[in-house]
Amino acid sequence: MSTPLTLFDKLWSSHEIVQRDGESLLWVDRHFVHEGSFHAFSRLAERGAAVAEPALTFGVADHYVPTRGRGKPIPNPEIARMVSQLDKNAADQNITLFGLKDRRQGIVHVVGPELGLTLPGLLIVCGDSHTSTHGAFGAYAFGIGASEVAHVLMTQTLWQKKPKRMRITVDGKLSEGLGAKDIALAIIANIGTDGASGHAIEFAGSAIRALSMEGRMTLCNMAIEAGGRCGIVAPDATTFDYLKSREFTPTGAAFDKAMQDWGELKSDAGANFDYEVSIDATAVAPFVTWGTSPEDALPIDASVPDPTLESNPERAKYIRGAIDYMGLAPGKKLTDIAIDRVFIGSCTNARIEDLRAAAAILANRVSKVPGLVSPGSSSVKRQAEEEGLDRLFRDAGLEWADSGCSMCVGINGDLVASGERCASTTNRNFRGRQGVGARTHIMSPAMVAAAAVSGHLADMRPLMARKS
């Protein structure tokens, strides 16, 4: 009898080329690059080297690109240079590029899945920490640094130390209107931002299987915020249905054969995990963050923590600092926190399902604060416009923009002003993440929409009930 293996063990062993000094050389199936990858291409140029496997490398313009004025010259000369450099690097190295003039352009972690470049069983890397998103398909996907990007470009391989295995099981049925973002924040609030440090996370359980692929991508996207090396969900019929007829997905008999192989990508009964966590989905509420870390998350009916009630001095000091930066007061109800603007977008929550959820709350209502909606890809933008979602956002008073990382990273002209408070669908609420001095509260798209029409953090469930 062979030893039962976890899904991650299977993915690792199928890509392992050789072991040396506690590390393994792994084969890379997909390598995504973006404008910020220019340092790695410079290293290639210095060595006079070429990309080893250009057919397995894909460029996407997303991090720095402006979401306004698309089609016009980029006003920021530094960003314009980075975008044009990506165009040149892709052309010189014969790499497929989804650039600003391509109808398929978008955020890399949205574009890869929707084009069928992300497939079960693959090892996928990108110079961006939220590459973990692609693990929703049963792929081993993780972010890498600039030197590693150069290594993959030149060799199509990467040295890695094998992570430990962790399983997070979420069983039960979520309350109506809740989704993957609420699950993710509940998990992070439970285990902390380093709770999964050094581990590959497999998400399992009935609540995970009930999620759409969009929801699974949101969950795996946030795995990195729990300290995980990656997040993975075993592929199933939901995965296969999503992948059918995508541009780069196998077709015909090849797809049927692939589904058979993909069906084996699951943890064996009795497989050993180094760490197990269980979450009751029925106990999950709409979550929002109050502080400066994703683990600073609480149900919407809670209050800002009081550091004087914290027994751990270091934790108390952290809470005081976070409250001070966020401009809050201990004990203040989360629903009493007024906001200055909203943002709906990012690789976490800017797919069509996310936009529909926000638009359902905003329909026939007016936002009390300004806000920006940036679809996750140009394809998502077109679909949303075909469904009339853009009109709902505009009628509510929000700006409808083009696709890009936008206000999530604050490096492309989309910023939250210093001291302003933003209800955001993004994945991080670190100090200055959305702009110097910006104060970010992360939550689901429906919760952002509820905050918009309320003018303060709010529970979206009464707004849903009022519509029905």
Between strands 275-280 and 164-171, the pairing is parallel
Determine the structural domain holding residue 119 and report its residue range: 7-262
Q: How confident is the model at residue 1 (pLDDT cuts 50, 70, 90)?
A: low
1 domain-assigned: no
Co-location of 140 and 43 in the same domain: yes
* Final residue in a domain of this structure, among 227, 262, 297: 262
User: In the chain, what percentage of residues exceed pLDDT 70?
Assistant: 99
Residue 118, classified by CB atoms within 10 Å of its CB into exposed (0-12), middle (13-18) or buried (19+), is buried
User: In the chain, what percentage of residues exceed pLDDT 90?
Assistant: 97
pLDDT of 410: 86
Co-location of 131 and 226 in the same domain: yes
Please enumerate in sequence order all residues whose Cβ is within 8 A of that of 188, keeping only pairs 6 or more positions apart, or say none: 195, 222, 225, 226, 294, 295, 297
- Total Cβ atoms within 10 A of residue 63: 23
389 domain-assigned: yes
278 domain-assigned: no
Please enumerate in sequence order all residues whose Cβ is within 8 A of that of 339, keeping only pairs 6 or more positions apart, or say none: 369, 421, 422, 423, 441, 451, 452, 455, 456, 457
pLDDT of 256: 97
Q: How confident is the model at residue 451 (pLDDT cuts 50, 70, 90)?
A: very high
Q: Hey, what are 231's tokens?
A: 């997040």
* Final residue in a domain of this structure, among 228, 245, 262: 262
Co-location of 331 and 451 in the same domain: yes
332 domain-assigned: yes
| Averaged pLDDT score across all residues of the chain | 97
217 domain-assigned: yes
SS3 377: strand
Q: How confident is the model at residue 71 (pLDDT cuts 50, 70, 90)?
A: confident
Number of domains present in the structure of the chain: 2
Average pLDDT value for residue range 75-86: 94
pLDDT of 466: 67
Contact criterion met (CB below 8 Å) for 353 and 360: no
Average pLDDT value for residue range 30-54: 96
Q: How confident is the model at residue 361 (pLDDT cuts 50, 70, 90)?
A: very high
Tell me the residue type at 316.
A
* pLDDT single digits (tens) 174-222: 999 999 999 999 999 999 999 999 999 999 999 999 999 999 999 999 9
pTM, two decimal places: 0.97
* Higher pLDDT pick, 116 / 70: 116
Give the residue ranges of DSSP H helices in 145-230.
146-155, 180-191, 206-209, 213-221
* Final residue in a domain of this structure, among 197, 227, 262: 262
Co-location of 344 and 399 in the same domain: yes
Q: Hey, what are 360's tokens?
A: 């359902």
Whether the per-residue pLDDT at 306 is higher than 80: the answer is: yes
Average pLDDT value for residue range 111-135: 98
Cα 332 from Cα 324, distance rounded (Å): 13
Co-location of 197 and 338 in the same domain: no
279 domain-assigned: no
- Residue position matching structure tokens 């809740």: 178
Indicate which CATH number applies to the domain containing 311.
Answer: 3.30.499.10
Adjacency order of strands within the sheet including 157-160: 16-20, 23-27, 157-160
Cα 318 from Cα 331, distance rounded (Å): 16
Residue 306, classified by CB atoms within 10 Å of its CB into exposed (0-12), middle (13-18) or buried (19+), is middle
- The H-or-E segment that residue 15 falls in is helix 7-15
Co-location of 155 and 95 in the same domain: yes
The radius of gyration of the chain's CA atoms, rounded to the nearest angstrom, is 22
Co-location of 85 and 36 in the same domain: yes
Q: Which of 423, 179, 439 is nearest to 286 (CA)?
A: 179
Contact criterion met (CB below 8 Å) for 212 and 174: no
Average pLDDT value for residue range 463-467: 76
pLDDT of 411: 87
* pLDDT single digits (tens) 129-146: 999 999 999 999 999 999
Q: Which of 448, 234, 468, 219 is nearest to 345 (CA)?
A: 448
Co-location of 204 and 312 in the same domain: no
Co-location of 55 and 154 in the same domain: yes
Co-location of 84 and 135 in the same domain: yes
277 domain-assigned: no
276 domain-assigned: no
Q: Which of 464, 458, 428 is nearest to 299 (CA)?
A: 458
Co-location of 192 and 99 in the same domain: yes
Co-location of 235 and 301 in the same domain: no
Q: Which of 12, 14, 15, 5 is nearest to 267 (CA)?
A: 5
Cα 434 from Cα 446, distance rounded (Å): 20
The DSSP symbol for 450 reads H
